[in-house]
Amino acid sequence: MLTPDHKIPRTVYSLLGIVPIAFGLLSIMLGQDSNWDLRNYHWYNAHAFLTGRLGFDMVPAQTPTFYNPTIDLPLYLIADKIPPWSAGFVFGVVHGLNFIPLFWLSYTVLTIKKPTTKVMVCAALSLMGLVGGGAFSQVGTTFYETMTSLGFFSSLMIVVVHHDMIIKGRLQSACSWSALAGFLIGSATGLKQPSVIFCLGLCSAFLFLTCSPIRRLGLAFMCGLGIISGIAVFSGHWMWHLWTTYDNPLFPYLNNIFQSPLAQLKSYRDTNFIPERVHEQILFPLYFAFDWSKVGEEPFFDLRIPLLFVLLPSVGLIRLVSRCCPIEMIAKPARASFITTTAVLSYIAWLWMFCIYRYAIALEMLAPLLIVLSIAQVPLPILTRWIVALTLLVSIQISTQPANWGRVAWGTHWIEAADMPNIPNPDHTMILMGGYQPQGGRRQLS
């Protein structure tokens, strides 16, 4: 059960309902999503999957033609039946749902004595997680990073809430909770593959728990089984389709391993943003903090991850030097350590695999809590630590500049039909499209 140390105020449940609705309304105010990926493949892939056009249209959305369309089905089914602004409201609510696991993570790990103060602090940290430079730009959009983040945060929440059971409870129950945590993040990865970085972070973090080595290995193993199960449920059908059609379950990716004759023998991994120089790799957050082009296609500014990059090792060094100094804790150390370890390992996986900022948005959303957990380790008076944390968080939020992926006024349809010329004999005609512009779906701007 989600029950911290004292009785939960009723206002908490009101917040958990109000915030998602507020983000649904915010999505309507911001306008209809018209990002490049939506116009290229998010709409088309679902359409092709449901109308039997797989294998008939030849790569109209370029490489993303082969992405798992399952995550795109809700948008297609909803936005094709109800007014676009209603669908935008639904997707805004989904964004706002992240407030719930973020709030419970904060509420479980922080040890603030006054209930009202604790609710306010946890609500502020969670709300700040939803309005970062990357996260805010995705309100009501179809990038899905703030949808799959629900799987990541829910996995973390399960481990943090049931931490004592997992560490020293019955092994069967501990394995069940770790497998469930793995299943949730595995499901997110099944829907969108870049979420694999959080699978690696979460599963590896079990190896750093404060219990026997055998138990740690068992918990990590069960988490891994859960991850595989989640991927199989939400992506197994599509991987089977790719395997039987193209001889590669991840087609065209990792074709250097699977060697399908229908693609080049290379990995197809996007390495455009991965830094080549060692010093850039080591100090990467300090580079992209002031040069957005190193991690994405649209301008934005957000210091959450760069600040953590500086803060975590600095606090670690301070604790090493002053380890004999007594400190009054404002967070539960073991739970805070698991959250931080998962985030750090996920960042390392992201740095190795992608370096595309969108794929690390869940870390940006978790950063406000991580900043507080880091400062909580500094041997200073409690009030001083909270003042420092508040100053940093306010400064970050004031300086934040969200990205703009493209929005238009709400129309009568989310995607308008293309203006096609008259084709005398369409059943015996091939249409060839060229260029790099999105072709899978088009939204009229008039």
Q: Which two tokens stand for residue 300?
A: 């934005």
Choose among 114, 146, 108: nearest CA to 130. 146
Q: Which two tokens stand for residue 88?
A: 């935008």
Does residue 444 have a pLDDT over 60?
Answer: no
What mean pLDDT comes out for the span 256-262? 95
pLDDT of residue 3: 46
How far apart CA 325 and CA 18 sit, in angstroms, is: 42
HSE-up (13 A, CA, CB side) for residue 66: 21
* CB neighbours of residue 154 within 10 Å: 22
pLDDT digits (tens, 9 = 90+) for 42-88: 999 999 999 988 888 888 888 999 999 999 999 999 988 899 999 99
Question: Is 297 within 8 Å of 272 (Cβ atoms)?
Answer: no
Radius of gyration of the chain (CA): 23
- Phi then psi dihedrals of residue 20, to 5 deg: -60, -40
Choose among 373, 229, 351, 332: nearest CA to 287. 351
- pLDDT band for position 1 (cuts 50, 70, 90): very low
Whole-model pTM? Answer: 0.94
Residue whose entry in the numeric block shows the structure tokens 């931080």: 340
Q: Which amino acid, one-letter code, is at 306?
A: P
The pLDDT > 70 percentage for the chain reads 95
How far apart CA 407 and CA 36 sit, in angstroms, is: 10
- pLDDT band for position 246 (cuts 50, 70, 90): very high
- What 3-state DSSP class applies to 439? coil
How far apart CA 272 and CA 256 sit, in angstroms, is: 18
Does residue 431 have a pLDDT over 90?
Answer: no
The contacts of residue 68 (CB under 8 Å, 6+ apart) are 190, 191, 192, 193, 234, 235, 238
Q: What H or E segment, with its residue span, contains residue 32?
A: strand 32-33
How far apart CA 9 and CA 7 sit, in angstroms, is: 6
How far apart CA 329 and CA 315 sit, in angstroms, is: 14
How far apart CA 192 and CA 96 sit, in angstroms, is: 19
How far apart CA 155 and CA 361 sit, in angstroms, is: 16
Residue 398: C-alpha distances to residues 290, 368, 392 (Å)? 16, 14, 10
How far apart CA 46 and CA 69 sit, in angstroms, is: 5
